[in-house]
Chains A and B, each alone.
Chain A
Amino acid sequence: GAVVSQHPSWVICKSGTSVKIECRSLDFQATTMFWYRQFPKQSLMLMATSNEGSKATYEQGVEKDKFLINHASLTLSTLTVTSAHPEDSSFYICSAITSAAYNEQFFGPGTRLTVL
């Protein structure tokens, strides 16, 4: 149980285009989802916290107009990278928590974004 999926697993896009990444909790309802970014050989940096039905809370330094987050249901959150640039190339990972186990985050497998 507690499986989180991400789609796509990798994507290559041209500079200036937008890319949408989906994060789904497959067998549980996720009250909160988190989006992280990880650059090569570095740690995970929290980008934003997403609660179902409300606006996401962004971490300092993360542009909310560039990284659009939608959490329309208890099983799906999406991250859209708008007007992508090469510096947005990174590994994006989502995680989810349930109301029954706030302490444990269940992580998706990640999405590798490459912007040409």
Chain B
Amino acid sequence: SQQGEEDPQALSIQEGENATMNCSYKTSINNLQWYRQNSGRGLVHLILIRSNEREKHSGRLRVTLDTSKKSSSLLITASRAADTASYFCATSGAGSYQLTFGKGTKLSVIP
């Protein structure tokens, strides 16, 4: 199975700063997704990037994918206190609906 690994495990920044989280995986993928989880809650889908895409934007989010390095990054620009949460990457392989989640990055945005 493929497993995403995020780094850093924890990130603390000031409001207004940018936050960058990275994810690495081990095998070929069909797509990679990023999710947010507030403490003790379910997951919120943020963005999906397909294996043939290199970059994608959604509002203050920017995701890049480098399949040669088997890595992805999530950039949150102009962070807000409300962005405080854990962020997970998840991958799925060709022909599979199953997601394999990384360990997550806990982001704290200090007002």
Interface residues, chain A, with chain B CB atoms under 8 Å away: 4, 6, 32, 34, 36, 42-46, 49, 91, 93, 95, 97, 102-110, 112
Query: 11 additional contacts, CB 8 Å, given A32-B97, A44-B88, A46-B99?
Result: A4-B42, A6-B42, A43-B102, A46-B98, A49-B98, A91-B40, A95-B43, A105-B97, A105-B99, A107-B43, A110-B40
Q: Contact between B100 and A110 (Cβ–Cβ < 8 Å)?
A: no
Q: Contact between A109 and B41 (Cβ–Cβ < 8 Å)?
A: yes
Interface residues, chain B, with chain A CB atoms under 8 Å away: 30-31, 33, 35, 40-45, 48, 88, 92, 97-104
Q: Contact between B92 and A103 (Cβ–Cβ < 8 Å)?
A: yes
Q: Contact between A112 and B48 (Cβ–Cβ < 8 Å)?
A: no
B92 to chain A: which residues have CB within 8 Å? 103
Q: Contact between A105 and B45 (Cβ–Cβ < 8 Å)?
A: yes
How long is the Cα–Cα vector from A32 to B98 in the complex, in angstroms? 10
Q: Is the interface of A mostly helix, strand, loop or mixed?
A: strand
How long is the Cα–Cα vector from A70 to B40 in the complex, in angstroms? 25
Closest residue to B6 on the A side, CB-wise? A43
Closest residue to A2 on the B side, CB-wise? B45
Q: Contact between B31 and A103 (Cβ–Cβ < 8 Å)?
A: yes
Contacts known (A34-B98, A44-B101, A46-B99); A109 close to B42, Cβ less than 8 A: yes
How long is the Cα–Cα vector from A36 to B48 in the complex, in angstroms? 20
How long is the Cα–Cα vector from A32 to B99 in the complex, in angstroms? 13
Closest residue to A104 on the B side, CB-wise? B45
Q: Contact between A43 and B42 (Cβ–Cβ < 8 Å)?
A: no
Contact sample, A vs B, 20 pairs, CB 8 Å cutoff:
A32-B97, A34-B98, A42-B103, A43-B102, A43-B104, A44-B88, A45-B101, A91-B40, A93-B42, A103-B33, A103-B48, A104-B33, A104-B48, A107-B42, A107-B43, A107-B45, A108-B42, A109-B41, A110-B42, A112-B40
